[in-house]
Amino acid sequence: MVRITNLHKVFGKLNVLKGISLEVSQREVVCVIGKSGSGKSTLLRSINFLEEPTSGSIEVDGVEVTPALTGRQRKERIHKVRLLTGMVFQDFNLFPHKSVIDNVIEALLIVKKIPRAQAVEIGESFLGKVGLIDKRDEYPARLSGGQKQRVAIARALAMDPKVMLFDEPTSALDPELIGEVINVMEAVANEGMTMIVVTHEISFARDTADRVVYMEDGNIVEEGAPSQIFSVPQDARTQQFLQRYLNGRS
Amino acid sequence: MTDPSLAVRRLARSFVFKVILVWLVILGCGGLGFSLIRLNVGFIGEWWRFIVYGEGTSDVWRVGLITTVFISVISIIGAIILAFLSALGRLSRNPLAYGISTFYVSLIRGTPLIVQIFILYFGLPQINQQLAKLIPNFEQQFSLLSNLLLLPALPTGILALSLNYGAYMTEVFRAGIQSVSKGQAEAATALGMTPGQTMWRIVLPQAIRIIIPPVGNDFIAMTKDSALVSVIGVQELLWRAQKVGVQNFRSMETLLIAAGIYWVLTIALQAIQSRIEKRLARGDR
Ligand SMILES: Nc1ncnc2c1ncn2[C@@H]1O[C@H](COP(=O)(O)OP(=O)(O)OP(=O)(O)O)[C@@H](O)[C@H]1O
Ligand SMILES: [Mg+2]
């Protein structure tokens, strides 16, 4: 479903991604973990071209963007990839000047050009799924962090993507609000969505992920089933990270 | 009921009361001064309608104050469009767009408005003249360009004010657009919106709250600066006051009429402006 091939990203002099290759199959849930600054966000943001890769190619559901592709054709492909992917950000990025329902249907209206009545219907069904139908006409400022993130998930899902990208979706939340977002994400995973999740929530990775990827310094150091990565990590760097991380947390 | 004389005394001590007193004293001194120079109040009463809205002429309600307001409204619209485009250039990483924008802002802000008005009105026709010499049938073949170079006074005034205020407002628009967090544009982009859709539907509606108050101030300033276009003969408020004043050797009287009208206009616009600002503040989310 997603194929990343030899992806490099350089910011000025900073070499942030050093040749990442990763394949994610349909219905798979992949969690990406790693230290701050290791390039997790950059990797995720390269998949939908919020960051332009320095080199390497990205393929989502058969739509491939290679470095050879330029100009108009490239723009069109990137647009297609963006329609195939939904993204959830750490700080929600809901549109503050729009009500909850308008947040969810905005792109349905102006990107997919779906008639309003039909878009509202779709929007309401996804708000129902994240359990926020009663907040339909609220403005984002009046929601809790957990509610905001659930609206953001509904907004992304309403576009009917093939892959969902989550960049630390619970990191900006108060601890007591993390659960409600994790529950929604688990439900999305159970419905068979392909997901790539950058997260510090080890419990989510352990319970829901099919595969865990450990990144360090712009490279994928190790990947494997959660049971393997969390209990018997092979690479010394992964061991060290998990040891520090798990001790620091609990 | 409390002692009414107490209330009167409290009023007399209050700050507002004293301030009003100061205003009245200043106005009184002004009136005294005017009577010393034998200001002709009858002349003012007789002529102000003619100056302000052309009473008794075929141009009634098409000159004077109306022209002033018309110039200001059209020019602020022009300035808003220019400032928006220029801010986009300023924020662009395209060297052509960035270069044009910064050049425009620097040139306009670095020269006096009156010089800009003169160049547009007296300078451009010279270009037309030269082109007509160089290119046979220039005025017929390139009538659009030629007409632009020979623009009449009123459109020239509007163009000058638009260009001038557009340059000053570029910074306001840039700051407004930049005040919207980058995450907003990223979320919109991730949802598949084009850069244009992202700007119109997501960024600008949020930037507008930052942009409106300073644009309101600029509009008020513009109604006063519009008096400058009187120098190229646009029949706005100042031009008419000046003309009547010189012809009758009653300049003080007619200029006071103009000043009074500008003052009232400004106060009215400021009242509207503060209402809008209050409403914007109330809608804060
Ligand atoms: N737009 C940018 N310009 C320059 N440097 C950047 C930019 N974005 C990220 N970086 C740098 O790239 C490196 C990797 O950043 P990235 O956000 O991908 O890390 P991360 O693994 O997501 O970290 P965190 O856990 O803190 O979110 C960091 O050193 C960061 O400072
Ligand atoms: Mg990150």
Task: Return the ligand number nearest the Cα of A43.
Answer: 1
Q: Which two tokens stand for residue B1?
A: 């009921």
Nearest-CA residue for atom 1 of ligand 1: A11
pTM for the model stands at 0.88
Q: Which two tokens stand for residue B164?
A: 């001038």
Look at residue B279 in the predicted model and tell me its pLDDT. Answer: 86
3-state secondary structure of A222: strand
| A11 CA distance to ligand 1 middle (Å) | 9
Mutate to test the interface with A, among B186, B191, B201, B208 (most CBs of A within 10 A): B191
- Asked if residue A249 has pLDDT above 90, the reply is no
Confidence of residue B23 (pLDDT cuts 50, 70, 90): very high
A17, A41, A91, best to mutate for ligand 1 pocket (most atoms within 8 Å of CB)? A41
Nearest by Cα to B82 from B154, B163, B200, B203: B163
Identify the closest residue of chain A to B197 by CA–CA distance: A110
What is the arithmetic mean of pLDDT over B203-220? 94
- Asked if residue A248 has pLDDT above 70, the reply is no
A15, A16, A51, best to mutate for ligand 1 pocket (most atoms within 8 Å of CB)? A16
> What pLDDT digit, counting tens, does each position of B156-188 carry?
999 999 999 999 999 999 999 999 999 999 999
B186 contacts A82? CB cut-off 8 A: no
> What pLDDT digit, counting tens, does each position of A126-140 carry?
999 999 999 999 999
- Asked if residue A246 has pLDDT above 80, the reply is no
CB-nearest to A139 from B184, B192, B285 is: B285
Look at residue B2 in the predicted model and tell me its pLDDT. Answer: 62
- Asked if residue B242 has pLDDT above 50, the reply is yes
> What pLDDT digit, counting tens, does each position of B31-55 carry?
999 989 888 999 999 999 999 999 9
CA–CA separation, A162 vs A82, rounded Å?
A: 10
Strand-pairing partners, residue A18, are: A8
CB-based contact A36:A217 (threshold 8 Å)? no
Strand-pairing partners, residue A15, are: A10
Chain A neighbours among B 129-188 (CB < 8 Å)? Answer: 181, 183-184, 186-188
- Asked if residue A109 has pLDDT above 60, the reply is yes
Nearest-CA residue for atom 2 of ligand 1: A11
> What pLDDT digit, counting tens, does each position of B270-280 carry?
999 999 988 88
Residues above pLDDT 90, as percent of chain A: 93
> What pLDDT digit, counting tens, does each position of A165-220 carry?
999 999 999 999 999 999 999 999 999 999 999 999 989 999 999 999 999 999 99
> What pLDDT digit, counting tens, does each position of A63-92 carry?
999 999 999 999 999 999 999 999 999 999
Residue B283 Cα, gap to closest chain A Cα (Å): 10
Look at residue B215 in the predicted model and tell me its pLDDT. Answer: 96
Other Cβ atoms less than 10 A from the Cβ of B121: the count is: 22
CA–CA separation, A20 vs A5, rounded Å?
A: 7
B190 contacts A50? CB cut-off 8 A: yes
- Asked if residue A250 has pLDDT above 50, the reply is no
What is the arithmetic mean of pLDDT over A108-127? 97
ipTM of the complex, rounded to two decimals: 0.94
Position with higher pLDDT, A243 vs A216 = A216
